[in-house]
């Protein structure tokens, strides 16, 4: 049995002080986040069947195809916001680190400044798509506003912040404002993104492999993204055919 030397009282006090400071920063970030986003999610901000029908007709895309993307990106609940009114988001730490490096920001210094941003994404407290992701995002913004926004995926369709200009917007701030306003805005941004990137015809023709490659990246096959889209589309198509 290995003997571990006892820590000195000074070391214990230092560890406890560090933990207390970390908890203080975390509570502060959660508080600021709750002030940034609306505390409630009224029905007027949620997509209705009429909204799906209208946008489907305007963009000439089947409702079943749109709902298939929603299900794969945001889950079967089809929610672009949490019950507390915060937009669905997924902060990508690996992408954030790459963008910080491109900006010439020292990662060790950044980690000391905002440790919450560097918490592992697979812990219970910081699970994907949870409100706690906002704490990581807000912490990341204190290091680099640009890198934080462009390293986060937003809304029903999980559009990356780095695509704000490809959604036809003038700034990343406008992107966040619309993503945080309503699911109707999130759907509009999705259609704009497909239109400006030559992807409308791929979803119109249900070319799921080509669509998945463009929308989800080269690793789509490994994740079965195209097969999952096709299955979700068939499910909703059966609903509309009833």
| Cα dihedral value 96, 98, 101, 105, nearest 10 | 10
Q: Please compute the mean of the pLDDT values over residues 189-212 and round it to a whole number.
A: 96
pLDDT at 89 over 70: yes
pLDDT at 119: 82
**Cα 202 to Cα 142: distance, rounded to the nearest angstrom:** 39
Q: Please compute the mean of the pLDDT values over residues 6-15 and round it to a whole number.
A: 52
pLDDT in tens, 114-161: 999 998 765 555 455 566 788 899 999 999 999 999 999 999 999 999
Neighbours of 41 (CB within 10 A): 20
Distance set, CA 210 to CA 25, 163, 201, 204, 218 (Å): 44, 19, 10, 12, 10
pLDDT at 122: 56
Q: Is 159 helix (H, G, I), strand (E, B) or coil?
A: strand
**pLDDT grade, residue 8 (50/70/90)?**
low
């Amino acid at each position: 049995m290995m003997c571990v030397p006892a820590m000195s009282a000074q070391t214990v006090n230092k560890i406890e002080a560090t933990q207390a400071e970390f908890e203080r920063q975390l509570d502060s970030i959660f508080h600021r986040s709750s002030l940034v986003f609306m505390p409630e999610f009224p029905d007027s901000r949620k997509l209705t069947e009429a909204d799906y029908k209208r946008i489907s007709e305007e963009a000439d895309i089947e409702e079943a195809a749109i709902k298939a993307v929603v299900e794969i990106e945001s889950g079967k609940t089809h929610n672009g916001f949490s019950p507390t009114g915060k937009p669905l988001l997924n902060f990508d730490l690996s992408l954030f680190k790459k963008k910080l490096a491109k900006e010439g920001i020292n990662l060790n210094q950044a980690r000391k400044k905002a440790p919450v941003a560097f918490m592992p994404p697979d812990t219970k407290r910081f699970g994907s798509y949870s409100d706690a992701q906002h704490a990581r995002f807000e912490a990341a913004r204190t290091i680099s506003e640009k890198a934080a926004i462009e390293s986060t995926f937003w809304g029903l369709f999980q559009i990356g912040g780095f695509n704000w200009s490809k959604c036809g917007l003038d700034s990343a701030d406008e992107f966040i404002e619309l993503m945080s306003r309503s699911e109707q805005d999130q759907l509009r941004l999705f259609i704009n993104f497909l239109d400006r990137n030559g992807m409308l015809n791929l979803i119109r023709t249900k070319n799921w492999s080509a669509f998945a490659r463009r929308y989800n990246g080269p690793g789509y096959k490994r994740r079965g993204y195209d097969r999952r889209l096709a299955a979700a589309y068939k499910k909703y198509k059966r609903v509309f055919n009833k």
